[in-house]
Structure 1
């Protein structure tokens, strides 16, 4: 009787919680899809070396209505970065390179913004987001799709990007250096990054439906399409297909396949008695390299947050957490591991709401940690609404000013702004005039084209023709109109639209 009473008291006091059952996960995911307008989601949970749930929900496309299942393929975007770091770990185990070798040993033409940084930049530095470059610096060489930049262009152009902090002093997330890391894998191994990932990970893990790039998928009969809300209505958009991004964000996989990768990670690099990389290298990849500012608040009471080698690392409620997210236009994903609980959670989605995967991951995670923090779907929904209200106020004011100018017939002399302008790394753009209206067109990235609207003084707002970018931008001319700079209008613009790094001069 005493034991039963004690158990009852523990249960009602909140110190013991059962893990979410499959029907409870089903209800959680379905409510998440409805709340955040996500057509399709796949979820997997790995515990104690076994897959305890692997399941698809909703539809791959709002047009075809085909169902998502556990073998449905999603682009996992930046969750590909951990594969690149693991590829380098294999080469280190094979004594072909070391983490602290200089990059110029393998890529002699590699050059950063000053000679010291160039000479000291290591393999480790490629992966740890501490280069001194700003958040997403140079991402307009990979984003949006439809451009003609190559990895060679990135290697040649990265030295034009100006630092915003001292070398190795500050965390700022970067994609370009992972592209260069993929090139380093190729030069050391003698295989392309894609071939290396296929032969050293996907094939031996039995990830038979997966591929390191959309363009290498053998079967696309069971794959999601990306979705983006545009003017309040969910729409299917074009898929990102460019190979330039592969080492940073290229992999397509399913929860069934990706579960094998997570099982291997949670087992010191071993899966089905195959040792992919040593436990020593796994520890290195999960060791904090670059500190990230953190605010310690309940319920996780995180005191440390850092980036390792292809993974984010933090402490949550007394446990180490290893995680990463990934995002392409219309697709976002999350992989989370708590190694001492032998717990892995995968959430893949075909819409770009990060709150959707956070609500699901954290609800499942909390059930294992014995944490209750309320209705996470509702909490994240309210946070989204607050952020969107702030952003809408900013953008609405800009376009209201434009509309007022048009109503009052306030005009500028379009000929004063027409011409070809060049940025050192982004290349040429052309501003043309048609019937008094100005148009912005990028030569190397044709997707970045749209009409320019006068705001005030020498400031214009460019409205991109592709509305799913959600990245309309200011064009700010200097006096004399010989040069201009840009910046995003909305604070919710994805950081990969790094307009602030551009500086155009008239040719």
Structure 2
């Protein structure tokens, strides 16, 4: 494995392009590939950025923000990045861990006493890292209807009370089953520990230092909705603009709105092991925290497709981890 090579991809549209391929292409070739992919998958709009050697070398919008207006997407168009928000939540927790306010191995009940899982053993042994790694024993997408779609009136109090009624589908910490609810608990943990809402913490402690000036932790925070991509439904090429979805509890599982220009800064701080600035003179988080976030905590099946030559796959803290063609890939979809 080529340890010196590393690629980070963030998916902000409804399709993705293999990042190893992008790294070897010219701007015109990228333009052509994105246009072809959008046409193939019938995508209304998307935005793409590529960073290399500490710099943004490509950023561009494609298609339209809304089929109702046909206004073009640009590099500052905000998309709902959905579950790409999870890595912001884990990074926020890393900041609190570095400040000595939390430890990844702290029991959740020591910070949120009313947290109660499906049996007493799991409740008493559930640690902060378990909130983030999809190994709780609960099933895929458990409880999502408590906060999605719009119309739910469940509160965090309801959420914390209802975990005890979900049945386990696998033994604790033995199987990957993706969930969102436990990330909402992580957002509550950030709020209780910091004294700020999850949204304000993300805005003040991550967006502002990195200069992500046009990104927002929730729809209600978006100052100018003129450059906001609308969600669409596509039925056989007939696009229908859908209403925006508002997070009702907190946005820790998927509430952020961001653009590829700002997300390039997010990629760069991770590629630079937590440092940022013109001369990397500032530190957001330590290399130790990054190593923790980029370590596999839950093992998954490796991709068997021979084109990727993948040997391992797993989930870290808010990131998917695998190898492709001898390179380490850190990624997430949204």
Q: TM-score normalized by structure 2?
A: 0.91
* In the alignment, structure 1 residue 112 sits paired with structure 2 residue 113: no
Distance 2:306 2:322 in 1: 14
* Aligned counterparts, 1:22-101, within 5 A: 22-101=27-106
Cα drift, residue 219 of structure 1: 1.5
Q: Which runs of 5+ in 1 are unaligned?
A: 1-16, 327-507
Q: Which has the larger radius of gyration?
A: 1
Distance 1:231 1:24 in 2: 28
Partner of 2:5: none
Partner of 1:325: 333
Partner of 1:171: 176
Q: Give per-residue Cα distances to partners, 1:453-489, cap 9 Å, x unaligned.
A: xxxxxxxxxxxxxxxxxxxxxxxxxxxxxxxxxxxxx
Distance 1:166 1:173 in 2: 15
For the Cα contact (< 8 Å) 1:226–1:236, is it kept in 2? yes
Equivalent of 1:275 in 267, 272, 283:
283
For the Cα contact (< 8 Å) 1:46–1:53, is it kept in 2? yes
CA RMSD of aligned residues (A): 1.5
* Aligned counterparts, 1:265-414, within 5 A: 265-272=270-277, 273-326=281-334
Cα drift, residue 19 of structure 1: 1.8
Distance 2:237 2:167 in 1: 37
Equivalent of 2:190 in 185, 206, 212:
185
Partner of 1:374: none
For the Cα contact (< 8 Å) 1:243–1:250, is it kept in 2? no
For the Cα contact (< 8 Å) 1:213–1:243, is it kept in 2? no
For the Cα contact (< 8 Å) 2:105–2:129, is it kept in 1? yes
Distance 1:233 1:173 in 2: 31
Partner of 1:225: 230
Q: How many residues align?
A: 311
| SS of 2:177 mapped into structure 1 | coil
Partner of 1:137: 142
Q: TM-score normalized by structure 1?
A: 0.60
Distance 1:295 1:212 in 2: 32
Determine which structure has greater relative contact order: mean sequence separation of CA pairs < 8 Å that are 6+ residues apart, divided by chain length: 2
Which consecutive aligned stretches of 4+ in structure 1 deviate over 4 angstroms post-superposition? none
Cα drift, residue 298 of structure 1: 1.5
* Aligned counterparts, 1:186-265, within 5 A: 186-230=191-235, 233-265=238-270
Q: Which runs of 5+ in 2 are unaligned?
A: 1-21
Whichever structure has more strand as a proportion of its residues is 1
Cα drift, residue 231 of structure 1: 6.2
Distance 2:137 2:23 in 1: 45
Distance 1:215 1:152 in 2: 22
Distance 1:139 1:18 in 2: 36
Cα drift, residue 245 of structure 1: 4.7
Distance 2:140 2:116 in 1: 19
Distance 1:292 1:225 in 2: 33
* Aligned counterparts, 1:418-437, within 5 A: none
Q: Give per-residue Cα distances to partners, 1:310-336, cap 9 Å, x unaligned.
A: 00000111111100001xxxxxxxxxx
Equivalent of 1:152 in 135, 153, 157:
157
Partner of 1:123: 128
Distance 1:232 1:141 in 2: 31
